[in-house]
Copies of this chain bind each other. A is one copy, B any other.
Amino acid sequence: MTSMSVGQFHLVGISFSFCFSLMAAATAFFWINRGQVTPNFRATITITGLVTLIAAYNYFRMFQSWEGAYQVADGTVKATGVAFNGMFRYADWVATVPLLLVELILVMRLPREETISRATRLSVLAVLMIVLGYPGEVASATSTRWIFGILSMLPFLWIVYELYSGLGDAISKQPDDARGLVTTARNLTVYVWFFYPVVYFVGAVGLDGATATTIIQIGYTIADLLAKAAFGVLIYMIAVRKSEAEMRSGGTQPAAAG
């Protein structure tokens, strides 16, 4: 990369710092407010916070790696020789993307057997999707980026299919209060996840160097904020509404243990 502007350098850096602060805040929110839902939903809220915690950690690392990779002197950006470490992003995704799918399934309170089989299948597909994408992300040849990008799309499309056809039934059985929100959470997952391959292929369409890097890093960061923190808030709201419904129908009480 030869020509990153000072503005591009700062913009990517501050987006990492901004994302770190919001992921950390989201984690605190989920865990501190966990007592607001009935015990049936507390593990879900704990996991929601795990996702944002792991993301906060990796964005902290990315910020430091970014600041260490470049120096601004005399109004120009120079590489320090220590390359920016993009593996933190993929390490983050391998850990958090399966957990995101588990969140969505857990908050639906499906029968135990179905929960386990769906969560396992979707998690395996998610890991496969990310592992297949990585060789393309770091490849210098555009053709390699296309090949692994397309390979990675196969498990991705399978996940989308599962979320619509497989979970469609389960969603229609959710309580009235929560059904709309569950549908929104499912749709947010699918829409935002389609944004990742769009960003990914920015690196394969001829845009080059600093501009591509800036778009890719900021694009992924925005997508992560939506897919993890905003999605988590939706999961939290679903859990609160379903807890209220449970209490109205004389089920478990909310108070007691955290």
Kindly list chain B residues whose C-beta atoms are within 8 Å of the C-beta of A28: 31, 46, 49-50, 53
Whether A82 pairs with B88 at a CB distance below 8 angstroms is no
Q: Please tell me which one of the listed residues B14, B42, B54, B73 contacts residue A33 in the complex, with CB atoms under 8 A apart.
A: B42
Any chain B CB within 8 A of the CB of A121? no
Count the copies: 2
Q: Quick one: which of A120-165 are within 8 Å of B by CB?
A: none
Whether A14 pairs with B87 at a CB distance below 8 angstroms is yes
Any chain B CB within 8 A of the CB of A39? yes
Least CB separation from A31: chain B residue: B32
Interface residue total, chain A, C-beta cutoff 8 A? 49
Whether B29 pairs with A46 at a CB distance below 8 angstroms is yes
Any chain B CB within 8 A of the CB of A91? yes
Whether B57 pairs with A21 at a CB distance below 8 angstroms is yes
Complex CA–CA separation, A28 to B42 (angstroms): 13
Any chain B CB within 8 A of the CB of A175? no
Whether A18 pairs with B91 at a CB distance below 8 angstroms is yes
Kindly list chain B residues whose C-beta atoms are within 8 Å of the C-beta of A61: 17
Q: Quick one: which of A1-30 are within 8 Å of B by CB?
A: 10, 13-14, 17-18, 20-22, 24-25, 28-29
Least CB separation from A256: chain B residue: B255
Q: Please tell me which one of the listed residues B21, B46, B258 contacts residue A257 in the complex, with CB atoms under 8 A apart.
A: B258
Kindly list chain B residues whose C-beta atoms are within 8 Å of the C-beta of A255: 256-257
Complex CA–CA separation, A165 to B43 (angstroms): 35
1/0 contact string of A103-116 vs chain B (CB within 8 Å): 00000000000000
Q: Please tell me which one of the listed residues B29, B49, B257 contacts residue A256 in the complex, with CB atoms under 8 A apart.
A: B257
Whether A42 pairs with B50 at a CB distance below 8 angstroms is no
Whether A95 contacts B33 in the complex (CB less than 8 A), given A255-B256, A256-B255, comes out as no
Whether A43 contacts B33 in the complex (CB less than 8 A), given A87-B10, A91-B17, A94-B18, comes out as yes
Whether A58 contacts B257 in the complex (CB less than 8 A), given A10-B85, A14-B88, A36-B43, comes out as no
Kindly list chain B residues whose C-beta atoms are within 8 Å of the C-beta of A54: 21-22, 25
Could you tell me the distance in whole angstroms from the C-beta of A50 to the nearest C-beta in chain B?
Answer: 4
Whether B36 pairs with A42 at a CB distance below 8 angstroms is yes
Could you list 17 A-B pairs, sorted by A, with CB under 8 Å?
A13-B85, A14-B91, A18-B91, A21-B91, A21-B95, A22-B95, A25-B95, A28-B46, A28-B49, A32-B46, A32-B258, A33-B42, A35-B258, A36-B42, A255-B257, A256-B257, A257-B258
- Give me 7 other A-B pairs in contact (C-beta within 8 A), A14-B90, A20-B57, A29-B47 excluded: A10-B87, A13-B87, A17-B61, A28-B31, A36-B42, A72-B82, A258-B258
